[in-house]
Amino acid sequence: MNAVPRRWKRAAVGLLAAAALAALGWLLLPKPPLLDGVDWSRRVVDREGGVLRVTLTRDGKYRVFTPLEAIAPELIRATLTQEDRFFARHPGVNVVPLCRSAWALARHGRARAGASTISMQVARLRFRLHTRTLPGKAAQIFRAVQLERHYSKAQILEAYFNLAPYGRNLEGAGAASLFSFGKPPARLTLPEAVALSVIPQSPARRALHADRENPALTGAQTRLFDRLAAPAEARAFRARAVERPPAFAPHYVLQALREAARNAPDRLEIATALDPAAQRVLERGIRSYLAARREEGIVNAAALLLNARTMEVEAQAGSADFSDPAIRGQVDGTKRPRSPGSTLKPFVYALALDQGLIHPLSLLEDAPRRFAEYDPENFDRGFAGPLRACDALARSRNIPAVALTARLAHPGLYAFLQSAGVRLPRAESSYGLTLPLGGAEVTMQDLARLYGALANGGKLRPLHWLRPHGDDPGARLLSPEAAFLTLEMLGPPGNPPLDSAEAVEPVFWKTGTSNGFHDAWTVAVCGGHVLLVWIGNFDGRANPAFVGGTCAAPLLFQILGALRAEGRIQPAPHLPPPGANLRRVEFCAVSGQLPTAACKERLSGWFIPGISPIALCSIHREVLVDAASGLRVAADDGTRPLRREVYEFWPSSLLTLFAEAGLPRRVPPPFLPGSGGEGAAALPGKPVRILSPRAGVVYALRAGEEDRRGVPLQAESDGDVARVYWFAGKEFLGVSQGREPLIWHPAPGSWAVTAVDDHGRSDGVRVSVQAVQMQ
């Protein structure tokens, strides 16, 4: 009989102590923190607001800050009905249920559940109180009243919806709604709100599961439906958590998190530029393409879609499957340095355009050439002979690209890439002339910035994964004219005129294949976007199928077609930059020079006034021909009938290349004997030009081997020249014909070497020859 009074006494003392502490909390203590200092998860969202990733907090929870206005009214109503019907009216403590709890403590030795108001629960969660003891309960009451003293009801309710436990490691309605139903809490239905609102009272027992119903949760839901007088259709709801889908755009999300850690460490919502529809196109395209070609050993790929106007990365697939360890899927192929093959060649041509070495229709030589100790060859191991610069780039011929690279200066390709922020770990000399053929490793993101510069009129700007971002004006890498012309050279031949109704933007694209078939690339600029595709293996295994044009290009165009079909890329005319120093004129279709009256075949093309190497065509010339024999004569002396005909006067080196390529040219006939043309120095034409030896070069020959190892004598002459005569000082050395060199065996010393063609036109160089003693 004495036990009950003692309980009564203990309950009474507890109530008095709690009341006293509540009064102290109300009157004396300063404002406590509510949500300040709480560790929140960070949400990564796409450009449409869809959630891509929620990060764990330091204590291993998913806890997403959600303002009260972003909570569905259904969840607020269900939660208040379940937890605290008188929340709006009490001062933090509801005396009636608190007294009932004290009575239960006095009668039965344990407190009755349900006495905690929302304010008291916030106090327990925020200050990590142990409330199953009388001191703990008193502290909870004290803190609850303190919170009510300094914060509004809306602020306290917002804190509850951000701190309440919802089973497993979910805290707060924001995380619970996302992980349980795959939606933000603002879009919860009444049945979903009821399912969530009953969990905090017993989060371990009532947690939502994806694979089964929870009877404890179902019973609690039913009781709350009764209290809410919910309709029958709502009561039929059986709550299950949604299956968590595979990670979407995982490489993009990781990149965005790294960018946010650097540039926005305090931002809880990381807004990205990711276009979810474009990302699905990339991932779906890679999966289907690799499935079709898996038997060829093509099992991995990476792709990136860049909006060149904003420099926002709209989609990124770092591998074919992030979760596949067999392909090392967690490696991000857009960041991994790889040999780019020929994808850097366009920048060789862009620099050559800027430096006045070429215009798009300039003739280049695709012929065997040696550059010091470097002997480049074409992919097909053949040679195309003379061809236009635009064709050399479009057909990705190696020899012309290397030859142009050797002529670049201020900057060369190495300095250009360094200025663009491409990491080149070795000195320029160690790369030599291999850079345009993939001799250095670059990343897909490097290439995206470089091709973005072509699309942006030559200005290099950084890539952006996050929104908003600054509007970087960019650094000038190339002139707007060179950037425009380089893209034109990468486009299909015969583009419609710019004033044509069909002048929509084509695809400007370039392939690349690394030496040894380790990497296949294709890059395209289209519709204000840059799309890049890489196929290969992260472990470096080679595959003869890894060829840019036949392996990566089909995937790129498959993705590009799907992007266009879904409206993610809109074609637009490709126009010269406003105010650009460009002119479109007629060129001789054969020589690539400005046409004369003798040039019958013409085509239109671009050039940069004051920079491009433009001259009147010197290839087509009108000559006098004897009507009877068809032979050439120097002048009309009135003794025979003559006619005027146009022939092609090609340099001897190019004539040889045309012959080797099987491309016959209309060369002038020989002079009619006795007509006065033989040796006529006054005839117009190009003078002979010595190619070897080179002026100012010291030639070192092994002592004792001067007779066996000589110096080649080679010259370029006009198309009507049959022979070139060589002299060292006054000593006649011999005769050369065509591209065949004459071998000279000089003695040590300084020599003046002269070449004279059979029309008396000459060229000369001074060289030194040394005898070297070999150890």
* Rounded Cα–Cα distance for residues 186 and 270 (Å): 19
Beta bridge partners of 171: 63, 165
* Rounded Cα–Cα distance for residues 291 and 179 (Å): 32
* Rounded Cα–Cα distance for residues 468 and 258 (Å): 16
* Rounded Cα–Cα distance for residues 497 and 619 (Å): 27
Do 206 and 239 touch, CB atoms closer than 8 A? Answer: no
Q: Among the options 74, 83, 314, 716, which is catalytic?
A: 83
HEC per residue, 168-234: CCEECHHHHHHHHHCCCHHHCCHHHHHHHHCCCCCCCCCCCCCCCCCHHHHHHHHHHHHHHCCCHHH
Q: Which residues of 696-708 are buried (b: 16+ CB within 10 A; e: fewer)?
A: eeebebeeeebee
State the amino acid at position 409 in one-letter form: A
Quick one: which H or E segment has residue 52? strand 51-54
Q: Among the options 180, 197, 319, 342, which is catalytic?
A: 342
* Rounded Cα–Cα distance for residues 62 and 463 (Å): 30
State the amino acid at position 320 in one-letter form: A
**Cα 767 versus chain centre, distance:** 50
Which residue is it, tokens 């890539």? 463
Residue 411, preceding peptide bond in cis (omega within 30° of 0): yes
State the amino acid at position 510 in one-letter form: K
- The torsion angles phi and psi of 183, rounded to 5 degrees, stand at -150, 160
* Rounded Cα–Cα distance for residues 302 and 327 (Å): 12
The DSSP letter of residue 552 is I
| Helices within 408-507 (DSSP H only) | 413-419, 428-431, 444-455, 480-490
Do 364 and 387 touch, CB atoms closer than 8 A? Answer: yes
342 is catalytic: yes
Structure tokens at 368: 């065997």
CA distances from 464 to 6, 152, 472 (A): 70, 41, 10
Do 95 and 117 touch, CB atoms closer than 8 A? Answer: no
Residues 6+ apart with CB under 8 A from 612: 353, 356, 358, 359
Residue 215, preceding peptide bond in cis (omega within 30° of 0): no
* Rounded Cα–Cα distance for residues 17 and 39 (Å): 33
Do 744 and 721 touch, CB atoms closer than 8 A? Answer: no
* Rounded Cα–Cα distance for residues 702 and 698 (Å): 13
706 is catalytic: no
Neighbours of 445 (CB within 10 A): 20
Sign of CA dihedral 741, 747, 750, 752: negative
Which residue is it, tokens 């670059």? 442
Nearest of 510, 514, 368, 351 to residue 420 by alpha carbon: 351
HEC per residue, 497-546: CCCCCCCCCCCEEEEEECCCCCEEEEEEEECCEEEEEEEECCCCCCCCCC
Catalytic positions are 83, 342
